[in-house]
Amino acid sequence: MLKIRTLAVAACAALSPLVTRAAVAEVKLTAAEAHAFLTDAEQELLELGIEAERANWVNATFITDDTDALAARAGERLAVAWARYAKASRRFDGVALSPEDARKLEKLRLGLVAPAPEDPKESEELSLLLTRLQSTYGKGKYTPAGAEGGTPGAAAGATEPLDLTALSNILAESRDAEKLLDAWKGWRTVSPPMRADYARFVTLSNKASREMGFTDTGAMWRAKYDMPADDFAKECDRLWEQVKPLYLKLHAYTRMKLRETYGKAAVPADGPIPAHLLGNMWAQSWENVYPLLAPKGVDPGYDLNAILKEKKLDARAMVKVGEGFFTSLGFAPLPQTFWERSLFVKPKDREVVCHASAWNLDQVDDLRIKMCIQVNAEDFVTIHHELGHNFYQRAGNKLPPFFRDGANDGFHEAIGDAIALSITPSYLKKLGFIEKEPDASKDTGLLLNQALQKVSFLPFGLLIDKWRWGVFSGQIPESRYNAAWWDLVRSYQGVAAPVARSEKDFDPGAKYHVSANTPYMRYFLAHILQFQFHRALAKEAGCTQPLHRCSVYGSKAAGAKFAKMLEMGASKPWPDALEALTGQRQMDATAILDYFAPLSAWLDKELAKEPVGWK
């Protein structure tokens, strides 16, 4: 399936108005006609998809009003054609198709993230809305007090407009509660102008989804997982319940330590944690506050941030290290064009979307990543993740276009993260980054740091689309957009806004994936699947150590099994792809529990007298 980053949408009527439904029903179509229809659809949508992806790349790496318009137009052309084919495909309902064509038909019908209304004016409007939402996010800055046009009440002495990267660095590095709060509030001044556009987008997207036979856009999104939409929602809840007890313990420990740092008045003993104290703009991962939480006596003896700088690695060299992991498994190196065309460093002369992403512009081997890389451990891991997308994209490039995607979108996100789980001390030693591995007594600190990245993310990964499903279905009306958002954050994460929020705010829009209309459940699934993949790969590599100490770097056996799954693309239902690697046909969060078992036992001891959960 073609992956389109920003689906600017528009639609035409699928069939001529002169052809009535009754007349269509009387026509007996054949499997051969369906096959010819799908062949035409694949070819046209491939060509339009490449055109749109090139326009999106230029827009994301050079944001101007002109590139906004070009991206919107290219996306509109693609979405018009895709919607036309998707609606026309309903003529073949009931026709006995080959398994391959039946799956192609399904992928065609579910290929749009934002379907297109049949009214041309509405489709054009929706195209412009989506482009404007993403560009508003990409160009967003907070101008503190003191600068021209400064924001009243901002940090004293600050004079330069701050973008998301600068504000995120404050959240990650500062321990001054006032500075943290100012940065947290500052970024959320970017999103209120998006609110009206987003509400209009929901109306138009839902109209188009109903025209395609779905109750709303959220139902269409949930239908993409080889199971009924309602069953998928239940599956997500089942996986969350598997890992929730571990999250509650991590939350309680984090709250206890932050309370020691910021005081009893700032952090309640048995309530939610204030969002601005967790080291991340959205409190979605907490590894940046690890220094405040680190147990005594478990320092592994190395600092990857410091090592990367001592080695004088620049952005390109860090990407080379990431590529080396995949080639050690037996994958071919990235093409030369990857190094010539990727964006590794934020340009000084123009606006770009810094959110890391991986691209395959021609659906064959025009692979690229787009990142504003900083030389730190976080981006070192992110590079491995993004390259995972690239190697997955290339592995299936000989499949029919409709199958050039992940088994499900969670698979695509999990590939690179599974590799990143192999960024262990043994891997760093093989790279020459450290002289020796720390002994097992240091594992608690390493596991805690990993949990602050992975386990802390799980409820956030779930709630983003829980919110959008509610918005699309109408259960969350526009009048409660922000209140419902914070209800979910509190319920799932045990996190609270540090200051009062109102419906004048639009805090969901301060997250890229909401403004860019990118479904988010894929990241929740990826955080489950990556551990399941890692457990299977470690077994294939013959690792006999505890799961958290296993690295598959250099294992051709693990690489061969990995490649077998990647090469399947989306040609088979995801349980088939999962079984090819893991031997299991159901997503299973017990691999997370296996990985963090030593940490879980340690947390039990630390929390003997502490409340777990929140009011």
Question: Looking at the annotation, which residues are catalytic?
Answer: 386, 513
For residue 347, give both structure tokens: 């340009």
Cα dist from 75 to 11, 59, 108, 128, whole Å:
11, 12, 16, 10
Distant-in-sequence contacts of 140-145, Cβ < 8 A, 24+ apart: 140/164, 140/187, 140/190, 140/191, 141/190, 142/167, 142/183, 142/186, 142/187, 142/189, 142/190, 144/182, 144/186
Side chain identity at 595, as an amino acid letter?
Y
Q: Give the torsion sign (CA, 229, 230, 235, 240).
A: positive
Question: Cα(first)–Cα(last) distance of the chain, in Å?
Answer: 44
**DSSP β-bridge partners for residue 142:** 162
Closest by CA to 401, choosing from 100, 74, 80, is 100
Distance (Å, rounded) from C-alpha 137 to C-alpha 281?
14
DSSP, collapsed to helix, strand or coil, labels residue 61 as: helix
Find all residues with CB under 8 Å of 462, minimum gap 6, and list them: 236, 240, 492, 521, 524
Q: At what angle do helices 574-582 and 521-540 cross, to 10 degrees?
A: 30
- Spatial neighbors of 44 by CB under 8 A, at least 6 apart, are 81, 85
Go through the chain and tell me how many residues it has: 615
3-state DSSP of 421-484: CCCCHHHHHHHCCCCCCCCHHHHHHHHHHHHHHHCCCHHHHHHHHHHHHHHHHCCCCHHHHHHH
- The pair of structure tokens assigned to 377 is 């451990």
Per DSSP, the three-state class of 259 is helix
Neighbouring residues of 343: CB distance < 8 A, sequence distance ≥ 6 = 61, 352, 368, 369, 370, 371, 372
Strands 357-360 and 367-370, sheet pairing: antiparallel
CB 114 within 8 A of CB 517: yes
User: H-type helices in 89-145, by residue range?
Assistant: 99-109, 120-138
179, HSE (Cβ side, Cα atoms, 13 Å): 14
Q: Identify the three-state secondary structure at position 274.
A: strand
